[in-house]
Chain A
Amino acid sequence: QKEVEQNSGPLSVPEGAIASLNCTYSDRGSQSFFWYRQYSGKSPELIMFIYSNGDKEDGRFTAQLNKASQYVSLLIRDSQPSDSATYLCAAFSGGYNKLIFGAGTRLAVHP
């Protein structure tokens, strides 16, 4: 079992819709969780991170964390074609000092 799991997609949504990206993790010692966006041929860039149960909002993005279910999600409201990219979920384990990524979910927003 991979430590961080994501559905590889592709997830296809129409422009203006809400895109929902999901991630589960296996290490209960994970302290914080990150969502990165990666365009083809580019380096990953941080969208947001979360470490407390509940929701965290930043503009069109909302991250949700449920530690009991070991589940993290990212909602993108009013999706734009420029949001088309691969979204990587990551978990930081303080016990092991490491940052582990999932395989990524490819999102396609069509006009």
Chain B
Amino acid sequence: DAGITQSPRHKVTETGTPVTLRCHQTENHRYMYWYRQDPGHGLRLIHYSYGVKDTDKGEVSDGYSVSRSKTEDFLLTLESATSSQTSVYFCAIGQGANTEAFFGQGTRLTVV
């Protein structure tokens, strides 16, 4: 299995509180992605990184920020959680075109 770990695996938080999800890899892959998955929407890209300190917005970036200060870790922060951010969040790592992207186990986040 690819060395990719998401933490926490489950979290319940209150509306308005900040939340940080962590994605950690041991594969030295260049690309890291954060997706959210909701029924009927597949995987929607939130933010992604193509190197240390190199990040960009995806399809649904509003309300989220990211940081990647070292190759291994990609952090997703919800500055002020809202109920619409209740979802399953997946991190993925890869080496770009023509190579497989590997997924973490997912984090189920509930905002109440």
Which residues of chain A have a CB within 8 Å of any CB of chain B? 3, 6, 8, 31-32, 34, 43-46, 49, 51, 88, 90, 92, 94, 96-104
Contacts and interface: CB of A to CB of B under 8 A. Distances in A.
Interface in B27-74: 31, 33, 35, 40-45, 48, 50, 56, 58-59
A101 B31 CA distance: 16
Contact of B45 (A46, A51, A101): A101
Contacts of B90: 43-44
B103 A31 contact: no
Contacts of A44: 43, 90, 103
A45 B103 CA distance: 7
A86 B100 CA distance: 18
A44 B90 CA distance: 9
B98 A99 contact: no
Given A43-B104, A43-B105, A97 B42 contact: no
A101 B48 contact: no
B96 A49 contact: no
B105 A98 contact: no
Nearest to B100: A46
A8 B40 contact: yes
B97 A51 contact: yes
Given A43-B106, A92-B97, 14 more contacts: A34-B101, A43-B103, A43-B104, A45-B103, A46-B100, A51-B98, A88-B42, A92-B96, A94-B96, A98-B45, A98-B56, A99-B92, A100-B45, A104-B42
Contact of B35 (A92, A94, A101): A101
A54 to B, nearest CB: 15
